[in-house]
Amino acid sequence: MYWTLELASHLEDAPWPASRDELADYAIRSGAPLEVIENIQQMEDEGELYESIEDVWPDYPRKDDFLFNEDEY
């Protein structure tokens, strides 16, 4: 299982919190690449809910990670 920024971005608008099956269903319905669906299927399923993309991929960059001033735009 590997995540990239491009692959993980397909789950940004997922209905959080969500189970692994709900994330897979969302990825299929939204037309995410096959790699996203495969990554979700490889995640451990212990019946837990994932609260956000950070629970799926802890290294997912947040807005705070960028040196970017939104007020300028």
Q: What is the pLDDT of residue 48?
A: 86
Is pLDDT of 71 > 80? no
pLDDT digits (tens, 9 = 90+) for 32-55: 999 999 999 999 888 889 999 989
Is pLDDT of 16 > 60? yes
Q: What is the pLDDT of residue 67?
A: 58
**Pair 22, 47: CB distance under 8 Å:** no
Other CB atoms within 10 A of residue 67 CB: 5
